[in-house]
Amino acid sequence: MEDGDWALNIKSVIVFGRIREVTDIDEKTEICKKIGHKFTSDEKYIDDDIARNIKRVLCLEITVEHMTGKLVNES
C-alpha cells in the first residue's frame, strides 16, 4: 500500500433469536460479577458496586436461532 491508500477491513455478525429480560436477582448478580471480574479482581469493590446498583441494572439474554457473519479484508 502507498501513502494515502486505505484498506477495507470489516468483521460483522448478525444474530437472530429470542430475547428475554433476566429478572432473577441472583442470576443478575452472577452476570454482573462475571462482567466485573473482567475489569478488576477486587471482590469487595465488585460486591459493593453490585449492591449499590443492582436495582438499576437491566440484563438481557438472547437465545440464538440463527447467526451469520462476514469478514472483508481488502488490503
The pTM assigned to this predicted structure is: 0.69
Nearest to 16 by CA among 53, 69, 73, 74: 69
Q: Where are the domains of the chain?
A: 8-74
Mean pLDDT of the chain: 92
Band of residue 36 on the pLDDT scale cut at 50, 70, 90: very high
Report the SS3 class of residue 54.
helix
Return the C-alpha cell found at 8. Answer: 477495507
Q: What is the pLDDT of residue 29?
A: 97
Statement: residue 4 has pLDDT above 70: no
Q: What is the pLDDT of residue 73?
A: 83
